[in-house]
Amino acid sequence: MRISSLSSSVYFTLTYLFFYIPIILLIVYSFNNTQYSLLWHGFTWRWYVELFSDSDLWISTWHSFFLGIAAATIATWIGLLAAVCLYRYRFFGRNFLNGLVFILILSPEIVMGASLLILFTLVHLPLGFMSLLLAHISFCIPFVIVTIYSRLVSFDKNIFEAAKDLGAGDWLIFLRILVPLLWPALFAGWLLSFTLSLDDVIISYFVAGPEFQILPLQIYSMVRSGIKPEINALCSVLFCLTFILVLMSQLALRKKV
């Protein structure tokens, strides 16, 4: 028993090291005062200073944040309505909707990216902010539905019966009971959508236009041209930002109703 628990701890630790060593090294190198060498040449803020003085990058960052906030907000509302309907009502096509959500999460992003490109071209929607926004909302919705639904199933159904007995209509139940109770899940779903939107390369690659540069695509083109300390700095900033967002969402979900 000893040996097996020892070996499982070792295995456990190695896997976490596998997950985190590359990221930790990336962050360490972003402070290394040298362009190419692996060796430590002293601590520097140089790459961060260069990063923050790059005006193109600021524009894409602003674009990505704006896009992420807009997409996450709309996706959260639509996802909320869908999750509430799936939870409370029987309706025609309910199983179909359930299955569709499931399929959309499993299906490869490339299929969605290419199919939206065909749709937007067909209706002559110029590729740019609008096409990105519609695409990002669409791929976030299923994740929001899953997040909110898994919260809903933990609720006591008697709450709704009590509200109905006391004369509350559906709008009132939705606004005064469901939304306040679901606040943590809404927050978590919003944050998940925001980070999905901020990180998405594949779908954006298909539906982005030249006028509206966004961060993930810019990182992609920078990364293709090789390792540079500024990219290390940029990736470290983004990684830390997502890390904080995950922690926030997990804390929000942890509190019991």
Partner 1 sequence: MKYSEFKNVSLSIVWFWLFIFALLPFCLVIAASFMAHSDTHLMQMPFTFSNYLKLNNPIYIRIFEKSLFIAGSVTIICLLLGYPFAYIIARSQSRWKNLFILLVIIPFWTSSLIRSYALIAIIKAKGVLNSILLAIGLIQFPLPILFTNSAVMLGLVYNLLPFMILPIMTNVERLDNRLVDAARDLGANRFTTFRKIIIPLTMPGIIAGSILVFLPAMTLFYIPDILGGAKSILLGNLIQNQFIISENWPMGATFNTALTFLLATLLLIYVFATRSHKRREWL
Q: Distance from first CA to last CA of the chain, Å, rounded?
A: 39
Map residue 210 onto helix, strand or coil.
coil
Q: Considering only 42-50, 51-59, 61-69, 215-223, which stretch makes contact with partner 1 by CB under 8 A?
A: 215-223
Binding mask 23-62 for partner 1 (x = CB under 8 A): x-xx--x--------x------------------------
Residue 119 within binding range of partner 1, rule CB under 8 A: yes
Residue 207 within binding range of partner 1, rule CB under 8 A: no
CB of 183 to partner 1, least distance (A): 18
Which residues, including other chains, have CB under 8 Å from residue 174's CB and lie 6 or more apart?
84
**What would the DSSP string read from start to end of 125-185?**
PPTTHHHHHHHHHHHHHHHHHHHHHHHHTTS-THHHHHHHHTT--HHHIIIIIIHHHHHHH
CB of 144 to partner 1, least distance (A): 11
Of 137, 105, 103, which is closest to residue 207 (Cα–Cα)? 137
Site for partner 1 in 75-104 (CB under 8 A): 78, 81-82, 84-85, 89, 91, 93, 97, 100, 102-104
Q: Cβ(139)–Cβ(200) under 8 Å?
A: yes
Kindly state the DSSP code that residue 32 receives in the 8-state scheme: B
Taking CB under 8 A as the criterion, the residue among 114, 125, 159, 252 binding partner 1 is: 114
Q: Which residue has the tokens 């922690």?
A: 247
Taking CB under 8 A as the criterion, the residue among 195, 197, 212, 213 binding partner 1 is: 195
Q: Which residue has the tokens 């909110």?
A: 148
Distance of alpha carbon 64 from alpha carbon 67, whole angstroms: 5
Residue 13 within binding range of partner 1, rule CB under 8 A: no
Phi/psi at 108 (5° precision): -65, 140
CB of 162 to partner 1, least distance (A): 16
Distance of alpha carbon 75 from alpha carbon 207, whole angstroms: 18
Residue 70 within binding range of partner 1, rule CB under 8 A: no
Residue 174 within binding range of partner 1, rule CB under 8 A: yes
Q: Considering only 44-52, 61-69, 138-146, 155-163, which stretch makes contact with partner 1 by CB under 8 A?
A: 138-146
| Residue whose CB is less far from partner 1, 122 or 166 | 122
Residue 227 within binding range of partner 1, rule CB under 8 A: yes
Residue 239 within binding range of partner 1, rule CB under 8 A: yes
Taking CB under 8 A as the criterion, the residue among 44, 52, 109, 209 binding partner 1 is: 109
What number of chain residues touch partner 1 (CB under 8 A)? 82
Map residue 43 onto helix, strand or coil.
strand
Residue 184 within binding range of partner 1, rule CB under 8 A: no
Residue 15 within binding range of partner 1, rule CB under 8 A: yes
